[in-house]
Amino acid sequence: MNMPDAKKILVRVRVNGVAREAEVEPRTLLVEFLREHLNLTGTHIGCDTTYCGACTVILNGRTVKSCTLFAPMADGGEITTVEGLAKEGKLHPVQEAFAECHGLQCGYCTPGLLLSTMQLLKKYPKPTEAQIRKGIAGNTCRCTGYQNVFKSIRMAAAEMEKR
Amino acid sequence: MAAKAIIKKKGKRGPVKGSSTNGAGNTASKWVGQPIRRKEENRLVSGKGIFVDDEKMPGMLHIRFVRSSYAHAKITRVDVSKAEKSPGVVCTLTGSEIKRQVQPFIEIGPGGAQKIADYPMAVDKVVFQGEPVAAVVAETRLAAEDAAELIEVDYEPLPPVVTAEDALKDESLLHPAMGTNRNWHGVFEYGDVEKTLKQAAHVVHIGRLHFHRFSSTPLECNVILANWDPRSGDIEYHCNNTFPSFASQFLAPALGVRIDQIHMKSYDIGGGFGIKITSYPYMAVCALASRKAGGRAVKWVETRIEHMQASAHGNERTFLDTRVALDKNGIILAIDSKHVDDCGAFPRYEPLGCVIWAQVLPATYRVKNIRIDMHQVVTNKCPVGPNRGYSRMQHLWFIERVIDICGQTLGIPADEMRVRNYIRKNEMPYKTPNGCVYDSGDYASMLAMAKTLVGWDDWKKKQTAARKEGRWIGLGIGSTLDSGTNNFGQARIINPDAPFSGQSKVGIVKLDIYGEVVVSMGSVPQGQGHETSASQVVADALNITPDLVNVRPGFDTAHNAYTGHTGTYASQFAVTGLTAIHGAAMKLRKELSRLAAWKLQAKEKDLEFGVGAQGPEVRVKGTQKAINYWALANLVNVNNAGMPEELWDITLNCRHVFHANFQIPDVKRKYGNLTLTYAAQVHAAVVEVDRETFQPKILAYACVDDCGKAVNPRIVEGQVHGAAAHGIGAALLENCAYDSDGNLLAATFSDYTPITAVNIPDLLCGHMETLSPFTLNGAKGMGEGGAAPIHTICAALQDALYPSGVIIDDSHNTGDSLFRAMQKAESGGYTGMVRVEHRRASRRRF
Amino acid sequence: MYAAPFSYFRAASLQEAVKLLQELGEDARVIAGGQSLIPLMKMRMARPAALIDINFIPGLGDIHNSKGELRFGALVRHADLEHSAAGVTVPILHDCAAGIADVQVRNQGTIGGSLAEADPSGDWGTALLALDTSVVCLGPEGERTVPLEEFIKDAYTTALTHEEIVTEVRVKAPPKGSGGAHLAFKRSAPVYPTASASVQLTLADHNTCKDARIVLGCVGLTAIRAKEAEAGLRGKPLDEKNIRTAVDAARAAADPQSDMRGSADYKRVLVGALVKRAIGIAARRARGESVDAGHEYAGR
Ligand SMILES: Cc1cc2nc3c(=O)[nH]c(=O)nc-3n(C[C@H](O)[C@H](O)[C@H](O)COP(=O)(O)OP(=O)(O)OC[C@H]3O[C@@H](n4cnc5c(N)ncnc54)[C@H](O)[C@@H]3O)c2cc1C
Ligand code: FES
Ligand code: FES
């Protein structure tokens, strides 16, 4: 098997407002880049086929599944991960709502769901039931049966509206 | 707070041993029962959870498996030479190499099953698709994956055994040494089934029913980080196995180490649902890999495909030749049936599933005469594991199908059929024909509540109108039991020589040197909020607040909070784990009280516990005299000169072991109490089958649960939701189907389609509490849920399509299968599937 | 799961992308959203030796409306189209874009990549066939415009030569009195449909069909134009009988295969039902009604 020349390349991003960089093989997935190279382990992996959304992060203002992006494709980008939501030790209203509504159990899906919720509320500050369901359709949760996730999102929307 | 160790008839002691309130006064149920916010939430919403894959060890290597693409084949050649030369590779492992280094795993089954040689990797033949054949250990994950591609394996295919019925033919054997594919058989017979069948007013014969294979598959796959230290010979595991003491009992003899040399640790776990219990073969390989790599740590992160193909699935079961005797009022008098359980390629937790179902032998019904001819076979499919609802849900589904099919055949409505047959509230505690004791429950009231929630009567009217328009709308009920706190003595029914029985759990509560309350749990939480519930119990015991209780997250053998039963399984933490922790807290309370009495020069009975200006304290009632926990801990730990000798036994580090008062069952009669508590759920649903797409759509869904005292109602509700989603997913989407060659057709999430937010209906939930007389606080274990939605949705589909001649005979239904069912009905394919014999009069009831 | 090693090139312009394709040869591939290519590479079912990233090419994600023609740059993401004005004026485009996978995949996947992938279950290949669509391809010899019918040749096979890339997708805006719908049944969002149907109807008057396009997705090696079904409606009133004839013809045109998503027989039934519903919605839209349409998912 002829191995192509896979020399490492430098990837620079801003993660949660901080400039970060690492030299990686081009095939490094964005999720691996975050977890293994930048040590941001809040972003998770739950599948191999772009189904579960445990790896969801925000790249340049839009959610993406970071398991389905090679790190160099995010070069120069602005990334938000779950670690970047709380400000000065205070939970973001979306985090607060999930915690308050028991919108999680094992918490493995939660970082991805929080970021999908951020995206949803940016687009639809007062989401309808259908918008909520479609907004998190790419995030699998195996624990909560989604009921409390819906509740959390409604609460987050209400709280953010107050601000 | 009085522990309700209820005295049974004849003055015998109740099943709970251990904790009871002592002299030192004021414990009250202030926190238990409150829906407080979980302690776990904040770290998990902040991305600060610590899951195994988040852990690193210095010099850590990565392992990657090469797996069989065949379901059944001889291995004729394994060549690792190219892989070993691949960049970054440290070593490889093959099955035959491993065989020389380990003992095969213990087999639980008797007789021929003892001859199964279960090694952690395939040795000279593969028996399921995805079975590991070889492995590569490399410096990086990338290098390991690249090298794995270079391992060459040649196979000589053997005929695959894919269905239970084929397995019974014994034409192709998975484990030739066993001499058969049937690894267990036993008849569970109670009452007089034959006579009842002869004399009953109606006998309903039901053809083949099938409960499909699925997995409640957690979102986090198996992850193991192992380090076999060549200096000490100890093995350190960071892993998400959820039944560590079971795993270590399998691992120690296989690897030739003492159990004490196996250190296991978990922090946060991304769900388990029973599927992670049987990860020990991989734990063995990772340890061996670490040893071969010269004592460097080795990490295995299972991919989703590996997980779907080769971790564990739920048990598949086929129900054959069912006969049901009923009286003229539709009261079920006897059930006779043959059940064939399919445990996949290796009976790894099995054949325990061949008895676990018997915890719920008559389900929620009064039927007394039952004969189940139980078989279990091995097939060329992924081994099963104790998936949420383990073994009981299959049986409960079967009984619910029986109820509905009999009701339909005799023209008795589904709700009426249940009310007539349910065990009554005033019959509780109820002894089942096989000697189990249902602690409490009021199924009829639960049904009434579920009907109200779902709008049953209204929907009935709408259904009549809709039927006239040609629409297929059905209403269904599913009654189910979630039995918890199992008696391992039931293993003796499987194998009289099985050296285990009973149930135990450990809790440790201590005051640390500066007076902090620290709790170590003997459980392995995966999202069930054990930290929170534990802190509620301890807060009540010490009359402090839950935020003052520091519960160590996760499981760690170093905490010494385990027995051989330790793990999280079988819906029991609320009973076993919390009773152990309560017992430990009460021991600590007693020690604190003795210590304070000495220091404050007061009588213990004059003391009270509470929180003062300087934190938690013990004070003399009605005075200013008090001593806080800091001072009490100080007295024992760092400032103990002058302490009277009679207080030297005080450690402020209190360990308590929960025991349930179980007996070893009567093995011959297969009789005895197999489990302690019976949480129940009754669900009701309205489902429409689209006339054009045949897609089943849930129009309304209600769940009512009763788990006795809910320690934290918020957590309980979450468990109800989660179990409902697993059930609905299993009923409509999730199916570990295999083709006739033994290829798993749903090896990715994209094919398995775990239920998502666009699929789940709104769940209308109701809650009842009938307290268990056998447990602390009256709590019952819960969380598995008993797969109520599978029963309910099948019932509703049956109701919708019965007029068209369809019998719902499978637990998994999709638009496609319903389309085919309708075609089958049109061509008379269900003729003979259900047959009724009517007799003129049944002389008497049994 | 990790892709096999490859070298990575970033194209700053279309011309550079084409040049790189020429230089790197057959083993090089363009990567756009990566939502088809990366999953395949992770499974090592695709193993290009080099990737040419076109995501950094400026302007390639623009949408233009020029004289009755909608022009979508190859990098227009499904989500861009979902939330675009084009989706409002041509609802079938919105149905299609908004129904692909989930938010995250739509944020990343592109219209150009989707057509270039030519997945038989891909929604764009189906929906755009209900409109007059052409694909602009750029190669070393320059640009050529290929009608969509000719662009997709077979499952996973297009008219692109190895050295060409898709630069733009052009869609003729349907005339007044025309309405369309794209419907699919999906088990859940992040999977391809089990079956899909696109219908574009142009009405002569309130109920007479002047022209019809009926396209079936996921039930053949490529999207299938059900021409007999179209003929069953063309010039005829949209009554129950004619619709039934069209649906039957559509079913007959389907050529599905059995897989985890469903058996062949069932897919045929399903696609018929979707055609019927899509006709209903398309007709209402043609009459100027605003109709919210969306895919159907298992269970609800
Ligand atoms: C979980 C999941 C669910 C999905 N569900 C659906 C669905 O329901 N419906 C649907 O239609 N699609 C679905 N998709 C596919 C998705 O729409 C993809 O985005 C799309 O098919 C490919 O677009 P891309 O930009 O991601 O292409 P890439 O993956 O980047 O590329 C795909 C192929 O096209 C080539 N290519 C890309 N751009 C160009 C170009 N400009 N010129 C020449 N060649 C090019 C690449 O070389 C590659 O061979 C799904 C994908 C995922 C991961
Ligand atoms: S890990 Fe990215 S979608 Fe599952
Ligand atoms: S909380 Fe466990 S997967 Fe969502």
CATH number at residue B507: 3.30.365.10
Cα–Cα distance for residue pair A132/B593, rounded to 1 Å: 54
Asked if the structure places residue B768 within a domain, the reply is yes
Please, are residues B375 and B168 in contact by the beta-carbon 8 Å criterion? Answer: yes
Centre of ligand 2 from the C-alpha of residue C40, in Å: 14
The pLDDT score that the predictor gives to residue B5 is: 31
Residue B185 backbone dihedrals phi, psi, to 5 degrees: -150, 140
Check whether residue B381 and residue B289 sit in a common domain: no
Q: B13: pLDDT confidence band, cut at 50, 70 and 90?
A: very low
Please, are residues B533 and B777 in contact by the beta-carbon 8 Å criterion? Answer: no
Q: Residue B674: name the closest of B335, B433, B393 by CA.
A: B433
Residues 6+ apart with CB under 8 A from A110: A82, A98, A103, A104, B44, B45
Please, are residues B313 and B215 in contact by the beta-carbon 8 Å criterion? Answer: yes
Closest by Cβ to B722, choosing from A1, A136, A145: A145
Cα–Cα distance for residue pair B836/B324, rounded to 1 Å: 9
Q: A1: pLDDT confidence band, cut at 50, 70 and 90?
A: very low
Cα–Cα distance for residue pair C52/C73, rounded to 1 Å: 17
Q: Residue B840 pLDDT more than 80? A: no
Residues 6+ apart with CB under 8 A from C136: C143, C144, C145, C146, C166, C167, C168, C169, C170
Mutate to test the interface with B, among A102, A118, A152 (most CBs of B within 10 A): A102
Q: C66: pLDDT confidence band, cut at 50, 70 and 90?
A: confident
Check whether residue B337 and residue B469 sit in a common domain: yes
Helix, strand, coil percentages in chain B from 3-state DSSP, rounded to 5 = 35, 25, 40
Residue C8 and residue A26: Cβ atoms within 8 Å? yes
Domain carrying residue B651 = 499-659
Q: Residue B25 pLDDT more than 50? A: no
Q: Which residues of chain C make contact with A48, given a CB cutoff of 8 A?
A: 1, 39, 42-43
Taking the CA atoms of chain A, what radius of gyration do you get in angstroms?
16
CATH number, residue C154: 3.30.465.10
Cα–Cα distance for residue pair A90/B815, rounded to 1 Å: 47
Closest by Cβ to A99, choosing from B37, B142, B301: B37
Residue B384: HSE in the Cβ half-sphere, 13 Å Cα cutoff: 28
Residue A65 and residue C3: Cβ atoms within 8 Å? no
The pLDDT score that the predictor gives to residue A5 is: 52
CA B605, B608, B609, B611: dihedral to nearest 10 degrees?
-160
Q: Residue C287 pLDDT more than 60? A: yes
Mutate to test the interface with B, among C36, C47, C187, C247 (most CBs of B within 10 A): C187
Q: Residue B16 pLDDT more than 90? A: no
Closest by Cβ to C104, choosing from A2, A29, A56: A56
Q: Residue C292 pLDDT more than 60? A: yes
Residue A27 and residue C53: Cβ atoms within 8 Å? no
Residue C266 and residue B815: Cβ atoms within 8 Å? yes
The pLDDT score that the predictor gives to residue B21 is: 36
Check whether residue C71 and residue C158 sit in a common domain: yes
Q: Residue B382 pLDDT more than 90? A: yes
Percent of chain B residues topping a pLDDT of 90: 92
Q: Residue C227 pLDDT more than 50? A: yes
Q: Residue B816: name the closest of B655, B713, B678, B695 by CA.
A: B695
Centre of ligand 3 from the C-alpha of residue B750, in Å: 18
Q: Which residues of chain B make contact with C44, given a CB cutoff of 8 A?
A: 149
Please, are residues B104 and B254 in contact by the beta-carbon 8 Å criterion? Answer: yes
Check whether residue B424 and residue B333 sit in a common domain: yes
Cα–Cα distance for residue pair C23/C9, rounded to 1 Å: 12
Asked if the structure places residue B187 within a domain, the reply is yes
ipTM for the complex shown: 0.97
Domain carrying residue C160 = 63-172
Residues 6+ apart with CB under 8 A from B362: B368, B370, B399, B423, B432, B433
Check whether residue B199 and residue B269 sit in a common domain: no
Asked if the structure places residue C47 within a domain, the reply is yes
Q: Is the CB of A143 under 6 A from ligand 2?
A: no
Domain count, chain B: 3
The pLDDT score that the predictor gives to residue B839 is: 85
pLDDT, tens digit (0-9, with 9 covering 90-100), for C124-175: 999 999 999 999 999 999 999 999 999 999 999 999 999 999 999 999 999 9
Q: Residue B841 pLDDT more than 70? A: no
Instruction: Kindly list the domain boundaries of chain A, sorted by start residue.
Output: 9-81, 93-162
Asked if the structure places residue C40 within a domain, the reply is yes
Q: Is the CB of A18 under 6 A from ligand 2?
A: no
Asked if the structure places residue C20 within a domain, the reply is yes
Q: Residue C187: name the closest of C53, C296, C59 by CA.
A: C296
- Residues in a beta bridge with C142: C139
Closest-CA residue, ligand 3 atom 4, reads A141
> What would the mean pLDDT of B465-487 be, rounded to a whole number?
96
Q: Residue B648 pLDDT more than 80? A: yes
pLDDT, tens digit (0-9, with 9 covering 90-100), for B660-693: 989 999 999 999 999 999 999 999 999 999 999 9
Both structure tokens of B320: 């054959």
Check whether residue B269 and residue B397 sit in a common domain: no
Determine the Cα angle at B832 with ends B828 and B838, to 5°.
130
Q: B570: pLDDT confidence band, cut at 50, 70 and 90?
A: confident
- Residue of chain B whose Cα is closest to the Cα of A144: B722
pLDDT, tens digit (0-9, with 9 covering 90-100), for B111-152: 999 999 999 999 999 999 999 999 999 999 999 999 999 999
Q: Residue B681: name the closest of B604, B791, B598, B538 by CA.
A: B791
Report in angstroms the alpha-carbon separations of C105 from A142, B259, B461, C138.
20, 48, 44, 26
Burial of B591 per CB tally in 10 Å (0-12, 13-18, 19+): buried
Check whether residue B513 and residue B645 sit in a common domain: yes
Residue A9 backbone dihedrals phi, psi, to 5 degrees: -130, 155
Both structure tokens of B200: 């009953």
Domain end position, chosen among C172, C200, C219: C172
Residue B336 DSSP code: E
The pLDDT score that the predictor gives to residue C67 is: 87
Please, are residues B548 and B515 in contact by the beta-carbon 8 Å criterion? Answer: no
pLDDT, tens digit (0-9, with 9 covering 90-100), for B178-228: 999 999 999 999 999 999 999 999 999 999 999 999 999 999 999 999 999
Please, are residues B627 and B599 in contact by the beta-carbon 8 Å criterion? Answer: yes
The pLDDT score that the predictor gives to residue B4 is: 34
Check whether residue B248 and residue B100 sit in a common domain: yes
Centre of ligand 2 from the C-alpha of residue B94, in Å: 31
Q: Is the CB of C180 under 6 A from ligand 1?
A: no
Task: Please report the DSSP string for B154-212 in residue order.
Answer: EEEE-----SHHHHHHTSS-SSGGGSSSEEEEEEEEES-HHHHHHH-SEEEEE--EEEP
Domain end position, chosen among B257, B281, B301: B301
Q: Residue B381 pLDDT more than 70? A: yes
The pLDDT score that the predictor gives to residue B9 is: 32
Cα–Cα distance for residue pair B727/B397, rounded to 1 Å: 11
Q: Which residues of chain A make contact with C294, given a CB cutoff of 8 A?
A: 130
Mutate to test the interface with C, among B752, B753, B818 (most CBs of C within 10 A): B753
Centre of ligand 1 from the C-alpha of residue C124, in Å: 10
Q: How long is chain C?
A: 300
Centre of ligand 1 from the C-alpha of residue C75, in Å: 11
Q: Is the CB of A55 under 6 A from ligand 2?
A: yes
Average pLDDT taken over every residue of chain B: 94
Q: Is the CB of A67 under 6 A from ligand 2?
A: yes
Cβ–Cβ pairs < 8 A, chains A and C: 105
Residue C187 and residue B697: Cβ atoms within 8 Å? no
Domain end position, chosen among C125, C154, C172: C172
Check whether residue C21 and residue C69 sit in a common domain: no
Please, are residues B422 and B444 in contact by the beta-carbon 8 Å criterion? Answer: yes
3-state SS class at B361 = coil
Report the CATH architecture of A9-81: Roll (3.10)
Check whether residue B764 and residue B653 sit in a common domain: no
Cα–Cα distance for residue pair B122/C215, rounded to 1 Å: 49
Residue among A105, A114, A146, A150 to mutate when testing ligand 3 (max atoms within 8 A of CB)? A105
Cα–Cα distance for residue pair A38/B788, rounded to 1 Å: 44
Both structure tokens of A32: 């691996």
Asked if the structure places residue B466 within a domain, the reply is yes
Q: Residue B619: name the closest of B682, B542, B683, B695 by CA.
A: B542
The pLDDT score that the predictor gives to residue B777 is: 87
Check whether residue B384 and residue B325 sit in a common domain: yes
Chains that touch B (3 or more CB pairs under 8 A): A, C
Where do we find the tokens 């964005």? A30
Q: Are strands C209-217 and B834-838 parallel, antiparallel or unpaired?
A: unpaired
**Which amino acid is it at A43?**
T
Asked if the structure places residue B667 within a domain, the reply is no
Q: Residue B504: name the closest of B586, B557, B564 by CA.
A: B564
Domain end position, chosen among B266, B301, B336: B301
Residues 6+ apart with CB under 8 A from B166: B379
Cβ–Cβ pairs < 8 A, chains B and C: 86
Mutate to test the interface with A, among C10, C29, C75, C102 (most CBs of A within 10 A): C102
Helix, strand, coil percentages in chain C from 3-state DSSP, rounded to 5 = 35, 30, 35
Check whether residue C149 and residue C49 sit in a common domain: no
Both structure tokens of B214: 């699925």
Asked if the structure places residue B725 within a domain, the reply is yes
Q: Which pTM value belongs to this model?
A: 0.96
Check whether residue B208 and residue B231 sit in a common domain: no
Q: Residue A10: name the closest of A28, A39, A18, C50 by CA.
A: A28
Q: Is the CB of A148 under 6 A from ligand 3?
A: no
Average pLDDT taken over every residue of chain C: 97
Q: B336: pLDDT confidence band, cut at 50, 70 and 90?
A: very high
3-state SS class at B268 = coil
Residue among C45, C47, C110 to mutate when testing ligand 1 (max atoms within 8 A of CB)? C110
Q: How long is chain A?
A: 163
Residues 6+ apart with CB under 8 A from B111: none
Closest-CA residue, ligand 1 atom 9, reads C100
Check whether residue B355 and residue B411 sit in a common domain: yes
Domain end position, chosen among B631, B659, B687: B659
Residue B755 and residue C262: Cβ atoms within 8 Å? no
The pLDDT score that the predictor gives to residue B844 is: 46
Domain end position, chosen among C172, C204, C238: C172
Centre of ligand 1 from the C-alpha of residue C73, in Å: 14
> What would the mean pLDDT of B738-759 be, rounded to a whole number?
98
- Residues in a beta bridge with B342: B316, B377
The pLDDT score that the predictor gives to residue B574 is: 85
Check whether residue B262 and residue B191 sit in a common domain: no
Higher confidence at residue B25 or residue B730?
A: B730
pLDDT, tens digit (0-9, with 9 covering 90-100), for B532-561: 999 999 999 999 999 999 999 999 999 999
Q: Which atom of ligand 3 is nearest to the CA of A54?
A: 3
Q: Is the CB of A144 under 6 A from ligand 3?
A: yes
Domain count, chain C: 3
Q: Order of strands, edge to edge, in the sheet holding A78-80?
A: A18-24, A9-15, A78-80, A56-59, A62-65
Interface of B with A in 607-666 (CB under 8 A): none
Measured in angstroms, the CA of B720 and the nearest CA of chain A are apart by 9
CATH of A93-162 among 3.40.50.12280, 3.40.190.10, 1.10.150.120, 3.30.70.100: 1.10.150.120
Asked if the structure places residue C2 within a domain, the reply is no
Both structure tokens of B738: 């295999």
Percent of chain A residues topping a pLDDT of 70: 96
Host H or E run for residue B333:
strand B332-342
Chains that touch C (3 or more CB pairs under 8 A): A, B
Q: Is the CB of A46 under 6 A from ligand 3?
A: no
Q: A151: pLDDT confidence band, cut at 50, 70 and 90?
A: very high
> What would the mean pLDDT of B295-309 be, rounded to a whole number?
98
Residue A111 and residue B47: Cβ atoms within 8 Å? yes
Residue B536 DSSP code: H
